[in-house]
Amino acid sequence: MANRLKEETSPYLRQHAENPVDWYPWGKEAFEKARLEEKPVLLSIGYAACHWCHVMAHESFERPDIAKVMNEFFVNIKVDREERPDLDQIYQMAHTMITRRNGGWPLTMFLTPSQVPFAGGTYFPAQPRFGLPGFVQVLEQIRDFYRDHREGLEKEDHPILQYLGQTNPVADSTEFELDLSPSEALVNNLKSRFDPEFGGFGGAPKFPHAMDLSYLFRRFHRKGDSTAAHMATLTLSAMKRGGIWDHVGGGFARYSVDERWLIPHFEKMLYDNALLLEALALGASVSRNPVYSRTAEELVGWLFREMRSEHGVYYSSLDADSEGEEGRFYVFQAEEVRSILSDEEYRVVSKHYGLSEPPNFESHAWHLYEARSIGELSKEFHLPESDIESRIDSARQKLFTYRSLRVRPGLDDKILASWNALMAKALLFSGRILGKQEWMTAGRKTIDYMHRNMWKNGVLMAVYSKKEPFLPAYLDDYAFLLLAVLESIRIDFRPEDLSFATAIADVLLTEFYDPESGGFYFTGKNHEALIHRPKNGHDGALPSGNAAAVQGLLWLGTLTGHLPYTSAADQTLRLYFAQMKEQPAGYTTMISALETYSDSQPVILLAGPQAEDWKNTIRQGLDPEAFVIDLTSAVRNSLPLPEGMRKHFPENKTTGWVCRGTMCLPSADSLESLQEQLRLWPLSKKELS
């Protein structure tokens, strides 16, 4: 018999609809039941593509005997962390405070009927193993603890609430200058953690750290730091050779369980691939290595084929498991591959993808990775590299067709505003850098769909599922979407984009911004009241929403000259400045925003018959984030141009202006004089301050 999760929109919650556990979705009904029956709440947070979430479900939640204990002792609540990142943030922090260990998924927390956490963990096995107690043993201990300490746990001034309140930063009341010392601290930190053999930062398990890679590429572009470029290119190249990259179908898995990037945790997340697509485009622009642009093309091919809805927005994730086994869809038997390919193909492919070596996945199967390069195989087989490539390409097509007949991993088909905004921005940015019009068109289609279907009565919805948007959007949703819309403006100006960007920014200021201390809360003023309102500045699996808001407001302020945007960005950077200096490794995106603030790139406006030629020429030496805008009549009617420019607008000759907001340097009547103004911008920008 199905429980209350059957009608939920989340595929993850619906996965648990047939459990014998009497699950509730998060809401008043569950907590009222807990209060009336004087029971604690068991809160289980996970997501559809999570392997260990499936393991705990199979071991415990599907067993009637364990479900009976859960139902007798607790009110049980299931939460999809992707739909409710606010709850996940709060209770992950609480878990760390209570257990003094890092959190993860599944997250298993025990709460009072007032939502206050008092105990917790992550994965618990059904029977004692891995040094962990059995789940029923945990449930019985928690029941007894709550019964014996209920009065103390229900106090309004519970210490955990005080600890959570202390996690939000406090503004420094002293005056100080923002400088770039956090940038140098970050680079030194990355150098100290860099793996010079296999790339990446730190040991196993090894995550892509896409924000760090993009930061390092941008640092090379801005400062010529060859060490930064080396760390980023070595890492991206090693990931592409490794098994974290799907050599048959494309796309990156979430992370590698080993230091060499060989065996992944197989789930594929939309946000990871969005962030890595941007890093690949930056890598291609910095190194000119064709492997990065080819990998970007294969990634987008996977995205359009497997993750795009008919409306041009993107699904959330592909599961790690199929048929109850992690990685089953992706791994092969060597003889299986031999039977699919010709002898000529197999001789090359077996060595290229490591099939001639012992099995590398749980000692019984092979997960493909680049064991030998095309150049090495060319020498070994005395064949041209083009012949080796041809055999590998042919084999890959056959393997793809064969693999497509298998039972596919589960698809989480909900549409998340924040993740779609990240992908829209990545498609627009990489399309602009790599000259891919189809990608730019796709990125704009995503933005336009979100504007039409997820923007309701002047506010954004966080999730679109079952043909309806729902849940008020969070800081990340607004901030990432603002950056995506600004990226659309960089390609070519549409008045509706500027209007949408200002509407998003205005909601950020009215609903999320803290005018007293600076910074943006993760939830808006009108959001459901919870036990804590986080205001985090550090990156997690996603870039910091606070940092993204700063970047977006700085650029929008530069475009429009609207001081409240740049003022909020300035105050937010000051709020997190001490943390950037003390913990640079967690603040990569905020430090990138600090550099945007410090560099203060101009807006270049062009008009006249050769405007497009000038645009293509000057972009070569500009920061990739700079705006170069053709002053069409639509632009002139939308942007707050200086009055003198409006009155004396040149109609028949090409002219350029270097501007910040509503202030511009004198017009440049030749491409050479415009380039000279840009060369001198670090000095001349003070004239417009």
Per-residue 3-state assignment (H helix, E strand, C coil) for 585-629: HHCHHHHHHHHHHHHCCCEEEEECCCHHHHHHHHHCCCCCCCEEE
pLDDT class of 418 with cuts at 50, 70, 90: very high
Q: What is the pTM of this model?
A: 0.96
Q: What is the mean pLDDT of residues 448-475?
A: 94
Does the residue 554 lie in any domain?
no
pLDDT of amino acid 683: 67
Does the residue 632 lie in any domain?
yes
pLDDT of amino acid 637: 84
- Which residue reads 């050479």 in tokens? 672
| Cα angle for residues 75, 79, 83 (degrees, 5° grid) | 155
How far is Cα 526 from Cα 662, in angstroms, rounded to an integer?
34
CATH number at residue 369: 1.10.10
pLDDT tens column, 18-39: 999 999 999 999 999 999 999 9
Does the residue 390 lie in any domain?
yes
Q: What is the mean pLDDT of residues 196-217?
A: 97
pLDDT of amino acid 124: 96
Task: Work out the mean pLDDT of the chain and round it to a whole number.
Answer: 95
Burial of residue 525, with CB atoms counted within 10 A of its CB: 0-12 exposed, 13-18 middle, 19 or more buried: exposed
pLDDT tens column, 91-116: 999 999 999 999 999 999 999 999 99
Q: Does 445 score more than 80 pLDDT?
A: yes
Does the residue 660 lie in any domain?
yes
How far is Cα 113 from Cα 39, in angstroms, rounded to an integer?
7
pLDDT tens column, 252-294: 999 999 999 999 999 999 999 999 999 999 999 998 789 999 9
DSSP line for 208-245: --HHHHHHHHHHHHHH--HHHHHHHHHHHHHHHHSTTB
Eight-state DSSP code of residue 206: B
pLDDT of amino acid 158: 86
- Residue 459 near residue 400, CB atoms below 8 Å: no
pLDDT tens column, 141-188: 999 999 999 999 988 788 999 999 999 999 988 889 999 999 999 999
pLDDT tens column, 289-330: 899 999 999 999 999 999 999 999 999 999 999 999 999 999
Domain end among 165, 182, 217: 165
Does the residue 42 lie in any domain?
yes
pLDDT class of 681 with cuts at 50, 70, 90: confident
Domain that holds residue 363: 330-405
| Cα angle for residues 231, 267, 304 (degrees, 5° grid) | 85
How far is Cα 427 from Cα 436, in angstroms, rounded to an integer?
9
pLDDT of amino acid 131: 86
pLDDT tens column, 400-414: 999 999 999 999 999
pLDDT tens column, 619-629: 887 888 899 99
Q: Does 644 score more than 80 pLDDT?
A: no
How far is Cα 297 from Cα 272, in angstroms, rounded to an integer?
16
Two structure tokens written together for 435: 């000259």
pLDDT of amino acid 686: 65
Q: Please state the domain count of the chain.
A: 3
pLDDT class of 648 with cuts at 50, 70, 90: low
Does the residue 659 lie in any domain?
yes
Does the residue 418 lie in any domain?
no
Contacts of 171 (CB under 8 A, 6+ apart): 516, 517, 518, 571, 574, 575
Q: Does 219 score more than 80 pLDDT?
A: yes
More confident residue, 366 or 622: 366
Domain end among 138, 165, 192: 165
CATH number at residue 37: 3.40.30.10
Domain end among 405, 434, 468: 405
Q: Does 689 score more than 60 pLDDT?
A: no
Does the residue 555 lie in any domain?
no
CATH number at residue 613: 3.40.30
pLDDT of amino acid 483: 98
Q: What is the mean pLDDT of residues 459-469?
A: 91
Residue 429 to residues 80, 270, 281, 484, 631, Cα–Cα distance (Å): 30, 16, 8, 9, 21
pLDDT of amino acid 652: 83
The three-state secondary structure class of 645 is: helix
